[in-house]
């Protein structure tokens, strides 16, 4: 398989992913309504064209396309294609929960037509402008990371002096949780990732952050209509890695300084006295993560450390796939949390790729 074919497959799946994201952003009930969003119809046309060109079976319509999203790994979409360097077990829609997967969200953010991570960046950029100072923006950003889903909104709590100013700046980002999440009127949140969860699926509990089943405990709202949540884009691209980012920041010898660029980059002083820039990622697909990291490094115009949870760095092939997918000359270095926060002697000799 050539590099062009790999790129074609990944972009074809990215089109489908954007259609799925648009569908869930407009669907207000558990039953998908007609007509389907134009991006999904367009993605169907592209999958059909690609399949017909190779004389292969194609989905008969959007419902079958959606069932492909649930059932087929990347290599199952078109025979003879490897799946464009995505992990083989990835699906675009979680078969049990019926929700877009993290892979779907990451694919939807790929390239110049990317929609989801870009939405998170736009919302944060607007918040930074409204805040006026980096300090105020950092306080708001931390608030969003700690509370992506508010199960029991308490107006009195938000009027407390310590949070009132922050709440006034961020409250416009919260909205009622989409109708397809509550079960018997109650919204569930995972205590591990703090994101939305569904209590009962055919596979047991499910959460947006993909926590290991053993670590996953769910808590629920008390009354229907009480829960608020950030948009999916901020839940997945800010709050999910934000949990790890707060651990990293707490372990550093000095306070990291926020640079309000995109999702947020932090600066710390390295051992040699120069500034090091880092961003924490928590992404399922190393190839897609590497491409986005290279874009951030290019905007920074300098080296970037991408810090990922230890468990992710230890996944077979993750580091290798990430590093191989970096464009030549990209000043990006992938480190686990333990590596990044280790005492200086343990880190001697590391350099940027």
Q: Establish if 196 lies at the interface with Zn ion (CB under 5 A).
A: no
Q: For 198, list phi and psi in degrees, rounded to 5.
A: -120, 135
Range list of β-strands (E), the chain: 149-150, 175-176, 188-190, 196-198, 206-207, 218-220, 228-229, 257-259, 265-269, 275-280, 304-308, 332-336
How far apart are alpha carbons 51 and 49 in whole angstroms? Answer: 5
Alpha carbons 122 and 226: distance in angstroms, whole number? 27
Give me 152's structure tokens: 């029991």
Distances (CA, A) of 319 to 301, 313, 333: 23, 6, 10
CB of 192 to Zn ion, least distance (A): 4
Give burial (CB, 10 Å; 0-12/13-18/19+) of 83. buried
In terms of CB distance, is 15 or 282 closer to Zn ion? 282
Question: Among the candidate windows 39-47, 202-210, 222-230, 239-247, which touches Zn ion by CB under 5 A?
Answer: 202-210
Using the rule CB under 5 A, is 192 a contact of Zn ion?
A: yes
Closer residue to Zn ion (CB): 144 or 207: 207
Nearer to Zn ion, 92 or 207 (CB): 207
For Zn ion, give the closer residue by CB, 149 or 337.
149
| CB closer to Zn ion out of 118 and 246 | 246
Q: How big is the site for Zn ion, counted in residues (CB under 5 A)?
A: 6
Distance CA 111, CA 109 (A): 7
Is 240 among the residues that bind Zn ion (CB under 5 A)? no
Minimum CB distance to Zn ion, residue 251 (Å): 22
Rounded Cα distance between 196 and 150, Å, is 10
Tell me how many degrees the CA angle 16-20-26 measures, rounded to the nearest 5. 145
207 belongs to the binding site for Zn ion (CB under 5 A): yes
From the list 118-126, 189-197, 267-275, 342-350, the region that binds Zn ion by CB under 5 A is: 189-197
Stretch that binds Zn ion, among 60-68, 192-200, 251-259, 313-321 (CB under 5 A): 192-200
Q: Say whether residue 209 binds Zn ion (CB under 5 A).
A: yes
Q: Return the residue of 116, 190, 228, 335 that touches Zn ion, per CB under 5 A.
A: 190
Please report, as ranges, the residues that interact with Zn ion according to CB under 5 A. Answer: 190, 192-193, 207, 209, 211
């Amino acid at each position: 398989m050539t590099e062009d074919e790999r790129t074609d497959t990944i972009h074809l799946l990215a089109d489908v992913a954007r259609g799925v994201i648009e569908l869930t952003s407009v669907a207000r009930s558990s039953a998908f309504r007609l007509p389907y969003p134009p991006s999904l119809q367009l993605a169907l046309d592209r999958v059909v064209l690609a399949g017909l060109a190779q004389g292969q079976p194609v989905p008969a319509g959007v419902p079958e396309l959606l069932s492909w999203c649930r059932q087929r790994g990347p290599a199952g979409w078109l025979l003879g294609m490897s799946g464009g360097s995505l992990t083989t077990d990835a699906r675009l829609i979680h078969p049990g929960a019926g929700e877009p997967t993290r892979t779907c969200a990451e694919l939807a953010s790929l390239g110049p037509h990317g929609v989801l991570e870009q939405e998170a960046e736009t919302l944060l950029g607007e918040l930074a402008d409204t805040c006026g100072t980096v300090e105020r923006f950092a306080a708001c950003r931390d608030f969003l990371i700690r509370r992506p889903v508010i199960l029991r909104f308490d107006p009195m709590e938000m009027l407390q002096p310590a949070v009132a100013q922050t709440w006034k700046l961020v409250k416009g980002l919260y909205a009622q949780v989409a109708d397809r999440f509550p079960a018997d009127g109650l919204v569930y949140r995972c205590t591990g990732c703090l994101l939305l969860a569904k209590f009962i699926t055919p596979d047991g509990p499910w959460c947006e952050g993909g926590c290991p089943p053993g670590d996953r405990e769910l808590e629920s709202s008390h009354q229907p209509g009480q829960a608020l949540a950030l948009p999916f884009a901020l839940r997945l691209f800010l709050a999910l890695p934000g949990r790890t980012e707060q651990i990293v920041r707490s372990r550093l010898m000095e306070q990291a300084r926020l640079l309000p660029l995109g999702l947020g980059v932090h600066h710390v002083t390295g051992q040699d006295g120069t500034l090091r820039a880092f961003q924490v990622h928590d992404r399922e697909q190393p190839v897609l993560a590497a491409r986005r990291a290279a874009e951030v490094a290019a905007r920074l115009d300098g080296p970037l450390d991408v810090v990922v949870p230890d468990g992710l760095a230890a996944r077979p092939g993750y580091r290798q796939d990430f590093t191989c997918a970096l464009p030549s000359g990209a000043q990006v270095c992938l480190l686990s949390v333990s590596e990044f926060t280790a005492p200086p002697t343990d880190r001697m000799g590391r350099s940027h790729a």
